[in-house]
Structure 1
């Protein structure tokens, strides 16, 4: 499978929002991403909850995908399923790198398909926010939502991880990352962040996602 998309149009499919919240007395940052898909809720629900389909556009997942069960994404986050109501949505803990955050996905019917809303709430160290802003995880979610879009358009063809990685480093991939990071910076500014600092953090995020690690 090759990835052929318009980075400007595809990045523009996602509406982004940042909110400042609180959980158990600790301040949190809440990233909200919304995108419409040209399929019905039943199909999109299966795409985001079926292990066989999740691996075709995101990562292999194992575990018990029922309320109270534990899941694990290969080489990435794991956690506990806290809510699962087909085809409305689900909520899980997102445990990665020794930290715990909270993720929910909601599916709502729309005129031409289904709108997916992803909400990711985390306690973010100030130094990390200053360095990368919301794009640190936001660009990753944008890439995931892009992969889901490719899957909905062609469910039979899995997204090759090597192809996806190569695309991320291509001119189109860099353009997509910059547009997504800028969108997240704009959302942070709307929530009260300093515009100059937010855009500088966005550029550091772009470099993080599009720079080849040294051997």
Structure 2
């Protein structure tokens, strides 16, 4: 079962504070777990996993609130899109989605966990993550496949392109429990690390 996201951080305490305030504690039953990293995120290297937050009706004010918390605007080549791309104080990209954006089911907090998946890996990745996450495919489009824990869940797991090149260990990693695997770190079919936690 998909239970959360593990995030590498040079300053764990600051990252925890930022994300608690950024999400207002609304993370859809997931856990954000921060672990110490010796090196900062490499400049110019887009993460393969990122979070989407709902901007709500006052999305412009929400973006300003996040910038005041320590986020900054980020350019990952997105061009003119109906969402805002920001980065947290550690440089990890995240998106602030505007009202009416596909799949948004809440006015604040985390509404999606996005995993980069290439076109050639898409079928294998979708099958793997549906089995591993315990979440179920609810929609499929050329730009992404959506999975949810339950039909009325406010958070989606979104798998789709573009896929950032794999260069070193991913700084954000999905975390699951169960599935018959011993606790530890594993690789998905596309070489992305993911954690298996202990069931409690």
Same fold, TM-score > 0.5, yes or no: no
- Relative to the length of structure 2, the TM-score reads 0.27
Higher share in helix: 1
Q: Normalising to structure 1: TM-score of the pair?
A: 0.26
Higher Rg: 1
Q: Which has the higher strand share?
A: 2
